[in-house]
Structure 1
């Protein structure tokens, strides 16, 4: 079993996804309603990706399935089966997980394969959230959740997308660049059934016809940069971090923390954690250890929440307990 595997309970009907390994041969799984529960590994079986294909519903269930499936226009006579059927239908969906949290889904309800990056913009600072390749008629859940109580503090999201479709004679498409920050009035009126995901959520279309007109000048410059041909590309280098990274604020800010609030200091620690984590993955390190201390436990909780949703993390565990107690976490990559 690995983090991200879909599993089903042997003695119950619940199923979910493994998000964390616990002590005593237990794992923490996230079930469909967003709750996380600890379960013994011996009480779980891994669900094969082929199950949905092999055990297709029939009769009335098939009718329900077909009614929920994304609608495709029938291919006209004399046209190629590879013809583009749907050019628009790229969405951002905020799907409620419980009364408190919403998860972010990117839905590709087009007939194109899409290479997508998502960046968070907050207080003139950017943070890369995720990159993904979405096949036609699929969706991807971002490794990020937002709290409804902090709706006004949600950041602006920047989406950049490249379109691809195999085959001869496929027309080239202009890359998509779109910024989106939901406003309360429009957000709470946008709830509907999310295509492909087939769950209720707050839905926003990213590739609507007016998207280019609504982009800021900065977005236009990014779009131009994407289209610009560059013959002399520099080599990108990634600084390989140390095997053990100390996140104590005294190490990160040796000059002192004058004028910094507790929230600012936590942000400094989280940014250092994310930078070293991504650099460790990019440089091919098999594992890395973060020293975060015990304190109130907030920093440890935030690190573990991020790690439990990272697609490149195999598992993580408390490290060097004799020396740090519960103040260090060891991360092993896939």
Structure 2
């Protein structure tokens, strides 16, 4: 019998039950009970518990009715990683389609050059489907994820080019706060799949800063360290909402990064603090798409702990 992560099972020969938290092999699984200890057990020694039947991708797909929209939405495809409500060590990957297109999608994982098909199916407009489950504690040995998708619509709109999203997840990708995903009505770590790659032309950026003398606009060389704590940027921060604070911090960060690129600095450090990790996560997202950034890393842990990021520029 084939089991999946998150299923509730009962031992055949013992008075024990729990959730499947690891797939060890075709014949062996790991089951975690109320004591939070994981027990390896043969699949022949457990059985599913009635009333806890696993809802597979096809069942979820049928349960999700397409939502009509007067405006044709062309953007909005996300990967939502949701912690299992029963065992937080297990996470479920959902593909969320907020567009008005139907999607034909495949998920393939690649580990040490060995590829494995994990999901293939159709996802209706304005719906979501679970495509993969795994153990969060095993992140260091997670495979690379490759998602490919084709758009489809009978509405007479221009069909976008196919999607190919490749990601090797790391711990820092899950450092930020989770967000509420309305389509799932759950908290999740969210990753945008159909976001256009940010391409920065350093020469054009430089031209935009250095205007003719008559305009008297000159970009200043930024400091080597930029403190993004809101109290350093605004005196009235007590009266600002969290959304307003994040926007101010991100605007200041982007302006400083652009200035560092124009002045060809070898590196620049952004002090964002630890907090709930939202600012750090947003900064890392933009850095990962910036073709003028060589790499970025935690800056001088002995001075900043994990509250600063050093950006190495090309």
| Larger of the two Rg values belongs to structure | 2
What TM-score, normalized by structure 2, do the two folds share?
0.42
